[in-house]
A and B are shown apart, each in its own frame.
Chain A
Amino acid sequence: MMNSIIVLGVILILAILYLIFRVGSLVTVAKGDTGSKVESGNGTHAVLFVVFMIVSLVGFFWYSYVNFDNYTLPIASEHGKVTDKLFWITMGVTVVAFTIISIVMFIFIYKYRYDENRRAAFYPDNHYLELTWTIIPGIVLAVLVFTGLRAWNDITSPPSKNAEVIELIGQQFAWTARYPGKDKELGNVNFKLIDATNEFGLDLTDAKTHDDFKSLELHIPVNKEVLLKIRAKDVLHSVYLPHFRVKMDAVPGMPTHFKFTATKTTQEMRDELGNQAFNYEMACTEICGQGHFSMRFPVVVDTEEDYERWKLSQDSWLKSNPDYVKDVPAGLRESAMIKAGIPVIQEVKQATAVGSN
């Protein structure tokens, strides 16, 4: 019932609109040709363009000013300060250019609207003018390019030797992190070794894997360079840490990396924002399937001491999955157990069990 009323209403409105259109057309025909070279109401568009310009420019500046804190994210990394500064310098330059060109264009549109008593100027070119507005944007862009290049080179320069190495792995539709453990070196992995438990594909013949541990939160220390080693298991993903201005794709078969230094712990950021519920977050920014929008990974920035304490509190992957000790070559087992923090008694029992099979 309701639907048919809506349909009828729509038909009625369309019919009325059509009638108005027909009446209007007929009136124009009846009035006859005015002899003017432009349609009536030509000047109205000139006025409308100026109104549009004023309203939209005022709206733009007003909204940008009032909502500044809503659309800018606080910065929590060293290089973020640099890239944000570049962003705002570029914003300044372009907004000035944009505003001037817009105003000039819409003023011209208004001022030079059709007037049958006037004739347009025959002004086909002016080389000085054209040269000027080729060279000036050229110079401005060159400045922007070189400041940008310097920042880019710094950001992508090789990490320092003592950077804190952490591996991030993307898969549909979750992230995991792997920490190198006490030896500070990530062990080898191989995608063919991946199974439901060994989700990293740890190659346990490599002794460096034995103390690696898994985390479902990204913990990083403040004021210390962090090197994220990034890979993906299935399709492309992209590591995105909005507050740290970090973004790097995760590519199956091609490990990538990004280095940065966090400048504010989670607690410091909470205090600064006056929001004790605040948490840093990591998201995915490369389309990866239906759960793309939900790959949230919590991020915690600790003080150096808290970070070390947290690391010590984590069990190695091998300790959490002692069944896999059998995959460690016999010669390495004892050192693996020690490195992984597994009580040797348990291991001996297992070894016996494995041997008797």
Chain B
Amino acid sequence: MATTVHTHHEVHHDTHADEHEHHEGNFWTNYIFSQDHKVIAKQFLITGIFWALLGGILSVIFRLQLGFPEASLEWLRPVLGGWITPDGKLNQEFYLALVTMHGTIMVFFVLTAGLSGTFSNFLIPLQIGARDMASGFLNMLSYWFFFTSSVIMFISLFISTGPAGGGWTIYPPLSALPQAISGSGLGMTMWLVAMALFIVSSLLGGINYITTIINMRTRGMSFTKMPLTIWAFFFTAIIGLLSFPVLFAAALLLIFDRSFGTSFYLSDIYIQGQALAHEGGSAILFQHLFWFLGHPEVYIVLLPALGISSEIIATNSRKPIFGYKAMIGSMLFIAILSFIVWAHHMFVTGMNPFLGSIFMLLTLIIAVPSAVKIFNYVTTLWRGNIRFTPGMLFSIGLVSFFLTGGITGIFLGNSAIDIQLHDTYFVVAHFHLVMGSASFFGMMAGVYHWFPKMFGRMMDHRLGVIHFWITFVGVYMVFFPMHYIGIAGFPRRYYSFTNFAFSSGFTDLNMLVSVAAILTLAAQFIFLFNFFYSMFRGKLAPANPWNSNTLEWTTPRNPQHGNWPGEIPAVYRWPYDYSKPGAKEDFIPQNVPFSETPESNLPHENDQIKLEGSGNSGSIVIGPKH
């Protein structure tokens, strides 16, 4: 009986959706204040690309200082104005501001909003078979909070005291005292306001992702039939929902300390000839709160990229992802552990050493599920039939970075070894590879792979592969040498290394890193050209260009609001029936019932055929609601 009711609901809904499609909105409701998840995804993507470019340019400016400390940067004066000193050098406080903003932009605005915002929004409804997000309105608000946050953060770059400059981790007291660094004045206030709005955006998005995945899966789409992308977005949203509020609290207390004279983080401070009234606060408290978000944040950034690459690697190896359940299990395990490893960022902060031992133990455990993921990727490639699309190339690049960067985590997670390596370039190399570059490559892979569904056109293949090879080699040239510099003990966030004898070497490597960074940034313009050119002039895309199994490829070339013109397809099988023995094609989409593929069914799948007729494959079915 429940089924009958359900079907009615669905039919009713479809009629409604059809009406909706004919009902064309104007420019503002279609492209600006749209509630369509696909448009919102594109808004996140384009804003993310803008931020990525800006973050990249900032890094090249400070790499110029590090690679060519003698060079005159006078030519940057038209852009940077007073931040270039009279003798043509970069201002030292501005150098720190560049480092700070590069980190903030890349971690939050590009790899959180740009990555999750784009692909969770775009893929969740399309891959689970829903017409839109659970709440289109909240989804729209999520983007506009992000946009407002972006505007404030962007404006902070141009104020006379400069943007926040205390590092992206904004440790107080430095971030609380404008007299300690000029960036802790208005720049820091704007940073905090922007981040508060960013967190609101992130929470609105996360609630929507979770609700949509739980409630709005199409007929037959049980949890165990969901693509790994959806699993990854699901865990990411949960992690974000649990950890971002802690950053919000940390930021709020910092705002109190800065503006209202409280002493949550401040104590015993004598600065510029004056003893401050603050007493009884703890600077370490902030670090605990910050990293309680900060470490899960690493996985907020990484998991979507891993989900995307799982999907792309399976599709282009023409093979099921190896160990589907192990992949979900390892992501779940990583998601849980991500909450109880935060203090490995704080081994030498004066925290009780016993806590250090506990966090070291927990941290090294997290290497196990990460290793499982790498082995599963490699085994997926084994005996595949690999097509090197740009999406696939970037996914392979991701696995390579995840391996290279992940393995150095075993050094840093060991508190005894971390004493020497903490806050050196070894750490910079580690997280830029494992989290920065790997996630960035996941994002790029996703753009190349789903561009046809986003814009109905193909991106240019040759430009895509050129972009990949320059970026792949470039990223290694930038970050691999930093391991040596780090082992040699060079501290990070240094404006110049010449004050110390122990860090006076390696000018050659630093120069190489800077040159590679410039070339890598330059290669991104190939992508930009390809992206915008293909949007309008690219080859028309077929509905399913990669012969992929997931539901988004069953939509028309340009899916309208509501995604499917008719009924939403039902799902009968898992998303990885690639190269199934006996099957005619080397892929069987999820919406093909077992009754149509008797030649390739496994014994237990034949038993499923009986269930198919009822329109309910035996799993929990909850129809879309509006």
> What is A's interface to B at a CB cutoff of 8 Å?
21, 24-25, 37-39, 41-42, 45-46, 48-49, 52, 56, 60, 63-64, 67, 70-73, 80, 82-84, 86-87, 90-91, 93-94, 97-98, 101-102, 104-105, 108-109, 112-115, 118-126, 129-130, 133-134, 137-138, 141, 144-145, 148-149, 151-153, 155-156, 172, 191-192, 194-196, 201, 230, 233-236, 238, 240, 242-243, 245-249, 251-254, 256, 277-279, 281, 283-294, 296
Contacts and interface: CB of A to CB of B under 8 A. Distances in A.
Nearest 4 A/B pairs, CB to CB? A253-B267, A156-B353, A256-B350, A253-B268
A172 B383 contact: no
Nearest to A134: B372
A249 B506 CA distance: 26
Contact of A289 (B174, B361, B367, B387): B174
Given A87-B420, A247-B422, A108 B381 contact: yes
Nearest to A257: B350
Given A83-B420, A191-B268, A245-B420, A137 B368 contact: yes
Contacts of B407: 94, 97-98
A52 B468 CA distance: 13
Contact of A234 (B269, B364, B496, B503): B269
10 contacts: A21-B460, A42-B388, A97-B407, A109-B396, A112-B317, A114-B387, A253-B283, A254-B282, A288-B174, A290-B495
Interface in B421-460: 422-424, 460
Contacts of B419: 83, 155, 245-247
Contacts of B569: none
Interface residues of B, number: 119
Given A112-B317, A286-B423, A145 B281 contact: no
A86 B410 contact: no
Most-contacted residue by chain B among A38, A56, A148, A196 (CB, 10 A):
A148
Nearest to B578: A120
A38 B388 contact: yes
B502 A124 contact: no
B462 A24 contact: yes
Nearest to A157: B353
Given A122-B581, A247-B419, 9 more contacts: A67-B484, A105-B400, A105-B403, A112-B384, A122-B578, A149-B361, A247-B423, A281-B500, A289-B93
Nearest to A233: B270
Contact of A120 (B476, B484, B579): B579
B256 interface: no
Given A191-B275, A254-B284, A283-B491, A82 B416 contact: yes
B368 A37 contact: no
B275 A194 contact: yes
Contact of B268 (A115, A130, A252): A252
B404 A283 contact: no
A238 B493 CA distance: 13
B387 A145 contact: no
B283 A145 contact: no
B123 interface: no
Contact of A90 (B284, B372, B388, B417): B417
Nearest to A104: B378
Contact of A109 (B93, B325, B381, B469): B381
A113 B269 contact: no
A141 B580 contact: no
B424 A285 contact: yes
A236 B396 CA distance: 41
A289 B500 contact: no
B343 interface: no
B3 interface: no
A331 to B, nearest CB: 27
A292 to B, nearest CB: 6
Contacts of B496: 293
Given A119-B579, A122-B319, A236-B173, A281 B502 contact: yes
B403 A119 contact: no
Contact of A113 (B353, B386, B415, B473): B386
Interface in B8-60: none
A5 B325 CA distance: 60
A197 B54 CA distance: 46
B371 A133 contact: yes
A104 B378 CA distance: 8
A38 B387 CA distance: 6
A287 B493 contact: yes
Contacts of A67: 484
B209 interface: no
Contacts of B326: 125, 130
B180 A235 contact: yes
B382 to A, nearest CB: 5
Contacts of A86: 414, 416-417
B487 interface: yes
